[in-house]
Structure 1
Amino acid sequence: MSAELLTNIADAVRLLAGGGVLVYPTETFFGIGCDVRDARAVDAVFRAKRRQSGMALPVILGDASQLGMVTRGHGAVEAALARDFWPGPLSILCPALPELPDTLTGGTGRVAVRVSPHPAAMALALGLGAPLAASSANVSGRAAVVRVADLDRELLSGVDGVYDAPPQPAGGLPSTLVDVLTDGTLRILREGAVPRAALVSKGYEVVSPC
């Protein structure tokens, strides 16, 4: 492994604060990310993944209080979704702050945000004091992994560190991605770990299938 293996949260936070790209565990798979405010680090995530420009990177928050660091376009429905489903695998599409790197949003001006229930992912964002770019730690088109030993060597050549902390990612479905429409109803853009029925059971109106 060419990237530095880290087991101490303080070392991992320092790497991120210094503009580094880090592989870290999430609730589903190992992710790759950086400080969302750092355009050069965001570009490095794209290079490590061999990811096409124009494909936005999801964002992980340390807690809901960091939402204002990436968007000011959220309203009452987004706040209710956060209360009902965070921490958890529900990503909410929101208007991005204009000062965020354009590459982070793929030029769309929007960003998908969630609070991961994995304690390491939350601790990294809280320790950094900023949200993290978050994409699966794999070269685009290849399989995501749940063990450090299975990380792609080609990917590792483009990152600065790997933070390995329990629990091991559980695999499974990706986060569900929803868009809140102007009338307060939800459109599911990707159905994943939070099924449509769970949204409906909480009283949300879902206007179209995934």
Structure 2
Amino acid sequence: MYGVDIVRACEVLRRGGIILYPTDTVWGIGCDAADSTAVRRIYEIKRRVDSKALILLVADGDMMRAHAAPLPDVVSQMIANPDERPTTMVIDGGRDLAPEVLAADGSVGMRIPREEFVSALCREFGRPLVSTSANVSGEPAAANFSDISSSIIKAVDYVCTSRRDEVSESSPSRVIKIDCNGQITVLRP
């Protein structure tokens, strides 16, 4: 159903490009999370200070484990029994990623999406994918394609065609920080 769109998006990502795509929450701007040049371009597109870390989407728990320090048991439990609401987990010890996606303390925010399109995109790409809302920093997140400014659309290398006509009242994910001892702190309810 989404095959050609996903293949084209992955081709652009593998060449170091930036894509505009529907996520499990809002429309996002994405790139290969290990490509520093592409990540810096996203900060420029969003006019966002680079001291704010970026959220990553991963295909599954194995991909999350490959790019973070050993996960506390509570993270493994949350992966096995996901909440209904999309939840980004900020965990310690991001690795094999562009330094620009990490917080000052080395932690990284990752989410395993369950929505069909973005799940397939993550699996096909095979590496963590930057996922930041498709808006200039400080403006409202784009729940729908029609909410995205023309400046954002023009700045990316590929605009996914899937789900453009959908209208929803999506909102950004909940964000929780989980320390190495399994202690949970809610960063964004």
- Compute the TM-score of the two structures, normalised by the length of structure 1: 0.80
Query: Is 1:185 matched up with 2:155?
Result: no
Identity over aligned pairs, percent? 27
Aligned partner of 2:145 in structure 1 is 148
Aligned residue type for 2:169? G
Q: Which has the higher mean CA deviation after the structures are superposed, 57-66 or 155-164?
A: 155-164
Shift of 1:16: 0.8
Query: How far is the alpha carbon of 1:42 from its aligned partner?
Result: 0.7
SS at match of 2:21: strand
Query: Which residue of structure 2 lines up, in the alignment, with residue 39 of structure 1?
Result: 36
Structure 2 unpaired stretches of 5+: none
Corresponding residue for residue 105 of structure 2:
108
In structure 2, the CA distance between the partners of 1:169 and 1:113, relative to structure 1 (3 Å rule), is farther
Change (3 A) 1:169 1:64: farther
Gaps of 5+ in 1: 1-5, 192-210
Where 1:9 maps in the other structure, the secondary structure is helix
Give 1:98 deviation, angstroms: 4.1
Please name the residue that 1:83 is paired with. 80
Aligned-partner Cα distance in 2 for 1:45–1:7: 24
Contact 1:53/1:106 (8 A) holds in 2: no
Summarize deviations over 1:151-177 as a string: whole Å, max 9, x none. 212222321111131383733332121
How far apart, CA to CA, are the structure 1 residues paired with 2:58 and 2:158?
20
Alignment match, 1:70: 67
> Is the 1:61–1:116 contact (alpha carbons within 8 Å) kept by the matching residues of 2?
yes
Structure 1 letter corresponding to 2:65:
G
Between the aligned partners of 2:85 and 2:15, the Cα distance in structure 1 is: 28
One of 168, 171, 178 as aligned partner of 1:170? 168
Aligned length: 186
Q: State the TM-score, normalized to the length of structure 2.
A: 0.88
RMSD of aligned residue pairs (Cα, Å): 2.2
